[in-house]
Amino acid sequence: MEKLSHPQVTIEIIKKYGFVFQKKYGQNFLIDEHVIQKIIRSAEISEGDTVLEIGPGIGTMTQYLAESAGKVIAVEIDRKLIPILEDTLAEYENVTIINEDILKLDLEQLVKEENQGRPVKVVANLPYYITTPIIMSLFEHHVPLDSLTVMVQREVADRMQAGPGSKDYGALSLAVQYYAKPYIAANVPPNCFIPRPGVGSAVVRLVRYDESPVAVKDEKLMFRLIRASFNQRRKTLQNSIANAGNLNISKQQVLDALEKMHLSPNVRGESLSLAEFAMLSDILSEN
């Protein structure tokens, strides 16, 4: 079979199976070999690697991954794509296809079974509507992974890299930067996909830290504080946290903590660095 990265081959496969794109799954298939090669180079895939691919679609990138990696585990939520994948990937013996929702899969168990618990490399062309939940699930559940190389909406890539005070800075920026070092490997225009998305995309590589750049006593509390701070980002930090129903922290407790940190009582969450959120969490956890 010719590579699916040739647009005509992708169109033929879609017609052959009468495949209809599902808006609910945010399906946009890559049709650019140069972009795929850039993703594989960025992910530093080698024969010794086991790759977890999220959302293989019709198997376009999976074909290239199978030729570079020792093993590929492709997790696809759309059951209508499974017979197509079994066809397009028939000649690759090192590919395992799993028809599951990645957010409901026990990934720790999967990695244990498929890779003896050793870290995997995650590669994905992520649906835009569910990018953040997937990335956060992989990090927060401490799935053994070496790196994530993902195709995301360009503005999401900017948020991952953003620092305090910028309009793109938010909960995603802090979460990603707590767990991994992000960098944008490539910008990808809409014409590299079928169907064309309405916005530009970017390939982001997230290299997992062995140890986070900041130490915090209660990781879960810190992220609850971060989410509360950005749920109402135009409000002061003391109001955002005091109004959060799941925290049970008073305005006075926040004010006392800010005073200890030598920060203004009117400071907003968007001004705090990751280290400052960790410090705030540690002070509030003592109370």
Strand blocks (E) in 88-218: 95-99, 120-125, 145-153, 180-188, 193-194, 201-208
Question: Is the pTM here over 0.75, yes or no?
Answer: yes
Query: Which residues of the chain are in CATH 3.40.50.150 domains?
Result: 7-208
Q: What is the pLDDT of residue 213?
A: 95
CATH T-level topology, domain 219-286: Helicase, Ruva Protein; domain 3 (1.10.8)
**CB neighbours of 219 closer than 8 A, spacing ≥ 6?**
none
| pLDDT in single tens digits along all 287 residues of the chain | 689 999 999 999 999 999 999 888 889 999 999 999 999 999 999 999 999 999 999 999 999 999 999 999 999 999 999 999 999 999 999 999 999 999 999 999 999 999 999 999 999 998 888 888 999 889 988 889 999 999 999 999 999 999 999 999 999 999 999 999 999 999 999 999 999 999 999 999 999 999 999 999 999 999 999 999 999 888 999 999 999 988 999 999 999 999 999 999 999 999 999 999 999 999 999 97
Helix axes 60-68, 33-43, angle to 10 degrees: 40
Query: Which residues of the chain are in CATH 1.10.8.100 domains?
Result: 219-286
Label residues 131-162 b or e (16+ Cβ within 10 Å = b): bbebbbbbbeeebebebbbbbbbbebbbbbbb
- Of 178, 199, 61, give the one whose Cα is nearest residue 121: 61
Q: What is the pLDDT of residue 1?
A: 66
Task: Kindly give the pairing relationship between strand 145-153 and strand 120-125.
Answer: parallel
Q: What is the pLDDT of residue 201?
A: 96
- Say which CATH architecture domain 7-208 belongs to: 3-Layer(aba) Sandwich (3.40)
Q: What is the pLDDT of residue 142?
A: 85
